[in-house]
Structure 1
């Protein structure tokens, strides 16, 4: 009876051994299977409506749609940043006086005088130097920085000597308190500043005593003395750095402070400066604007200095200068013609007349051709024959109404700029919303529809061009009989 249970237990143990081993291995197989992807948790759909475990790619349409969404989001974000920056600039912007204001012109000319930059002249034989002074060299910058550091070192040593002398008069076990230390060091520093005065450095002046500057040159000399006392060897800006750099901010502060002294002493009375414009912030912003504009000019000047090292480069620089002079001359000539024609129309038709409004836009008036050697006028292909006739009659009135011989010759020279060029400029367009009947039909038929749509030409005949031509013809015809 006792063996049966043992045998049964042993046989049972023997019989369950493999089963137990397999039962122990089964969880391990389940653990290994748990590392494999589970079909029930796969996120890709199969063909029969379930999930597909195979790797795939986005279709071209899905990829393009995704790229468009990203590009749109980036554009929207960038546009938002630009809009916020623009609003911040507008909100924080200072209302600086215009460049043509008297305060701006006064500070500009004062700075040009100090830097030896001649005023722009319309004469071709202007031999004065109009180049910007070079920025400070590394040695000049280092000497200016070390000058301040050396002065601080001298004062610090004077304070140490003063403290040693003070302690030498006290017992060996004497320990000064904070108030005594501050008092002794301050007295020693004050004595050092009085005895060791700053000496001006050797200064290189660029003042041109032959220029037609509206400031007395002694004001420039005084400013140069202040710059030399501050350690600057010459008056210049660091054109490669920002306006708020240590060198530029110090130079600009001295220039403005010396200009204020000049203004207070009535040295700038030639400019008739408005008192409300002469503020600390306006003066600083005006000089900051001048510096930023000249920064670009200095880069161009540096490029030209590299070009003139070769013969071809020198020829290119001279050609660019000649072309720039032609452009400036053409712009001035067009402004004079525009003013002269409007004065005639104002006198004959009135300032509020439709004829005055017809000639008021600058696009109506032609310019001189730059490519030709001899003066010639650019023919505006868009102007109708009636408008050309009207302008020609106005030009005759410009010089015909003058009774002084010199003024008559000057007016005639202004109007008669030579013959019209044989090649009209097709890239010039009439003003927007201009009267359509004043535009050449041939020109309109040659233009694209999108250009005409953008011009929005007015179909209402505000100006009776034929009646205006008849009035000018009568004025010119009546002149001889009136003069007899």
Structure 2
């Protein structure tokens, strides 16, 4: 449909929808919506005594008439590829459909971080799939109605992937080298943190060797981001962890710091674990976060497992290990109940939409509930981050 061969490279795709095209299209849609609304009002006003069923019939008739009279915008078609599996008639039919919906050409906003969040992309995908289904059936492809949402999801993933590839092609060799260096640094840091936590866990629970071994996996360490080299990084909370697993991790960090004897060792541990702030991952980060496999089932957040589906959840998990109670025990033994009180700093706000959880705080703490933008300056609800507020200034700060 874009006039390219099936093996065309991402950089050969049509240029991304420009800001001017997006703005012009939005204006066109608003004008069309206003015209539709005005015509529907005029038609219904002529029948003040019509009942609800009659009003629906009038509106449907008017909308059908308006759609049949839509004047398409000027459409700039792509060349027809001689080796295309799609006939010229199918191509022209879809291009006419695009023109009736205000599109000046067939392309996508490749630069969008989330392709499905851009209305241009969503409408273009709907039109493409709507024209593809009858063509696919004519070519003996069995397309069931229930499969269409999944097809659209894969379509959006394809758009995003093409955009990522196109963006990488714009990077200089120096940019790519810097990216690789940063990725190696982050992986090395996560490996050191994982080793520290595993060694600390086995020191306090020598009989729980299986969980200690699992904690050595760098993928079990939450991601982090650094604004600059002179400030502490921000923790990106691990959305896959259960409430109990998060308590275990935060407790291990507290124990590791307390057990560091020398000043140099304490500085080393703080350098690995100190975070100035905690935030929830974006949708893109959630999709890209590496998640460890073979942890106990109750180490994973229940909503995360639901998102994976029952088959995948059974595949990545092992038998539960009473992680919830172990986490509460470790919090009690690590932070105590004396002058050092435990509070939550909002490192794990519930994910957006239907995935929000209703977890209770790990320990009693005063403070307000805050969303993903909450920072560590206030006590906010969420089970992931624990702040130890002590009278001893040397221990003050997030671990």
What's the TM-score, normalizing by structure 2? Answer: 0.37
Identify the structure with bigger relative contact order (alpha carbons < 8 Å, sequence gap 6+).
Answer: 2
TM-score (norm 1): 0.31
Structure (1 or 2) with the greater strand fraction: 2
| Larger Rg, first or second structure (1 or 2) | 1
